């Protein structure tokens, strides 16, 4: 099967799930309308979801669950960090934009890495240079300007898990 059609089928299934979660109405008219709308969406905008092919294996599912748990734990830490900074009378900030080196290559992996960095303590992704694989990260309390230290502190928390999940 061609890759575009696979991507269209994935978009069709996802749209059907979202439709039934929003309506929660299993009469005949609702089911027909949902299937027609999902098919229209899949035909016109379906080919952009999956771009490159890869094999499925079971370990990825467990790593995804572990990734979600780790993401929630880091978000909780981030919120207490920001709350401490905001409530403190003297506002202890020392901001700056540093470089972070990454090993990931795929688009989806880079997007999820940037989103995870944005939701974790004190950091916010500003831009990505895809050719040299460098992320520019705004850090609210800069500990060191060296690229190795910042990569160790910011990037490597998620890189090992994301390498298994998305590569």
Partner 1 sequence: MHSLAFNQIIGYVIICFGILFDFFGVLGLLRLPDVYNRLQAATKCVTFGSAGILIGVFIYSGFTPTGFKAILCTVFILLTSPVSAHAIAKAAHNSGIEMAEETIVDHYLEDMNNEPTEDK
Partner 2 sequence: MKTFKWFIGLIIIVTLFILNFFVFFQEIDFSYKLINVLLFCSLFILMRVVKGPSVADRIVAIDILGILIIGICALLSIALERSYYIDIGIAWGLQSFIGAMALAKFLEGRSLDA
In the complex, what is the shortest distance from the CB of residue 90 to partner 2, in angstroms, rounded to a whole number?
7
- Contacting residues toward partner 1, per CB under 8 A: 18, 21-22, 24, 75-76, 78-79, 82-83, 85-87, 91, 93-99, 114-115, 118-119, 122-127, 129, 136, 138, 140, 142, 145
In terms of CB distance, is 64 or 111 closer to partner 2?
111
In terms of CB distance, is 59 or 89 closer to partner 2?
89
Select the binding partner of residue 85 from partner 2, partner 1, none (C-beta < 5 to 8 A, by kind). partner 1
Among 59, 89, 130, 131, binds partner 2 (CB under 8 A): 89
In sequence order, what are the beta bridge partners of 66? none
In terms of CB distance, is 39 or 78 closer to partner 1?
78
Rounded Cα distance between 24 and 17, Å, is: 10
User: Is 122 within 8 Å of 141 (Cβ atoms)?
Assistant: yes
CA 38 to chain centre: 24
Rounded Cα distance between 7 and 26, Å, is: 26
In the complex, what is the shortest distance from the CB of residue 77 to partner 1, in angstroms, rounded to a whole number?
10
The DSSP string of 67-135 is: HHHHHHHHHHHHHHHHHHHHHSTT---B-EEEEEE----SHHHHHHHHHHHHTSTTEEEEEEETTTTEE
In terms of CB distance, is 99 or 133 closer to partner 1?
99
List residues binding partner 2 (CB under 8 A): 22, 89-90
């Amino acid at each position: 099967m061609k890759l575009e059609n696979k991507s269209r089928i994935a978009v069709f299934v996802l749209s059907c799930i979202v439709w039934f979660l929003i309506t929660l109405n299993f009469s005949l008219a609702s089911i027909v309308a949902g299937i027609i709308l999902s098919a229209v969406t899949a035909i016109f905008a379906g080919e952009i979801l999956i771009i490159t092919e890869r094999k499925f294996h079971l370990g990825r599912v467990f790593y995804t669950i572990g990734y979600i748990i780790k993401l929630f734990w880091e978000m909780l830490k981030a919120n207490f960090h920001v709350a401490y900074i905001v409530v403190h009378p003297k506002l202890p900030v020392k901001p700056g934009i540093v470089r972070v080196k990454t090993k990931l290559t795929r688009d989806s992996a880079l997007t999820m890495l940037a989103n995870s960095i944005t939701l974790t303590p004190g950091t916010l992704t500003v831009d990505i240079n895809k050719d040299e694989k460098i992320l520019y990260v705004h850090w609210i309390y800069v500990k060191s300007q060296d690229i190795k230290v910042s990569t160790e502190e910011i990037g490597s928390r998620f890189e090992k898990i994301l390498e298994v999940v998305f590569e």
